Structure 1
Amino acid sequence: MAFLLRHIVRLAAKKIASDPVARDQAARAARGVAKEVKQIATDEDPAKAAGRAMRRAMNKLQGG
């Protein structure tokens, strides 16, 4: 399993490194993740904040 994940990450890193558009998308995604992590870390109840962040991500993936 770890080998498969490592392989997927390596392929994604190669694509991001070689494609300026993918690099821009990855940078925007990383900024969004960093913002969510900061919000979770500063919340009174980190578990609840993490659950809300996960629900937002799931809704976004489902098109809602």
Structure 2
Amino acid sequence: MQVELDDIMGLAEVSDMVGKSKQYVKTYLERGQFPEPVKVLASGPIWLREQIQTWIDTPRPRGRKKKED
């Protein structure tokens, strides 16, 4: 698989693409609710555009989980 440079995204580009803050992306990543980066460099994590587009296109439950009685 050949990857074009335009398909590689850092945290700032990912946060712009999903329309959320960088902290939001970091928090979701820490919770295991965001795609794992393909590599973590000294400058930070990097993802492939396709990973992020798939995450955006995948429906997720909204709101908080209901408390079990």
What is the TM-score with the length of structure 2 in the denominator? 0.27
- Structure showing greater radius of gyration is 1
Hey, which of these two has a bigger chunk of helix by percent? 1
Higher RCO by CA contacts (8 Å cutoff, separation 6 or greater): 2
